[in-house]
Copies of this chain bind each other. A is one copy, B any other.
């Protein structure tokens, strides 16, 4: 369970691209976005990766809307080539037309003029492929891309906000931080989150497990997750405690109570308990 008493702002992350599905590249975009969102106090409910395929994108968007999330963030598939299909998929999912957006076209025009002046491209002409990046689902608002060409896109569909970002990590990060993060912060329900990590040595996970279950039942507002591992043939259990509440003091108090009980349990089994920084691996 995950903070059952809190109505957090919920997100789905959708990645579009065969290069992920073929195992060519790691989906670092989703991890980066999830870390950002979690640290802001939001919560990611699903990550979905589909191929460069309109019907698959439609499926991912519609399932996300159906699940009632507040935000959908897509990455990938915004470029000029024929297999950049994200906006086509989003438009189809929302039953909206793709229409030329003047503001997006202006952004592209400036971008290609700059590249032309620098001698990077032979012509600043807005070819059909370049104009394609300014064709947004009706109602879409372009988000400025300071690093690459394709603008991001922001849409509203009922209570759900849909953000489309490019797949190139530097572009995704730039648009997210400049254009999306401020909007998310404004939309967040106010939640304080406290996290602490402990390491337990000398007790097997299956010995500790029933005790942890009782601890969880008694502390439904604290997320207690055990991460077992073996180190030199010995059982080491990392325990992650997360608590979130609308007041910081409440969140802290809840986690302190669990930490106290934990100390007693570990003492009972003659194990070792130490506070650690977190799970970096």
Interface of A toward B, CB cutoff 8 Å: 1-2, 15, 18-28, 30-39, 43-53, 56, 59, 63, 67, 79-83, 112, 115, 118, 120-123, 127-130, 148-149, 168, 204-207, 209-210, 212-213, 216, 223, 225-230, 233-235, 269, 279, 281
Q: Quick check: A206 and B23 within 8 Å, CB to CB?
A: no
Neighbouring B residues of A19 by C-beta, 8 Å? 225, 227, 279
A129 to B34, CA, bound (A): 31
Main secondary structure of the interface of A (DSSP, over half): mixed
14 of the cross-chain contacts (CB-CB < 8 Å) are A1-B53, A2-B53, A23-B33, A24-B279, A46-B50, A63-B63, A80-B209, A81-B209, A81-B213, A120-B233, A121-B204, A122-B269, A129-B206, A129-B210
Q: Quick check: A205 and B79 within 8 Å, CB to CB?
A: yes
Neighbouring B residues of A52 by C-beta, 8 Å? 2
Neighbouring B residues of A51 by C-beta, 8 Å? 2, 45
Neighbouring B residues of A26 by C-beta, 8 Å? 26-28, 31
What's the least CB distance linking A280 to chain B, in Å? Answer: 9
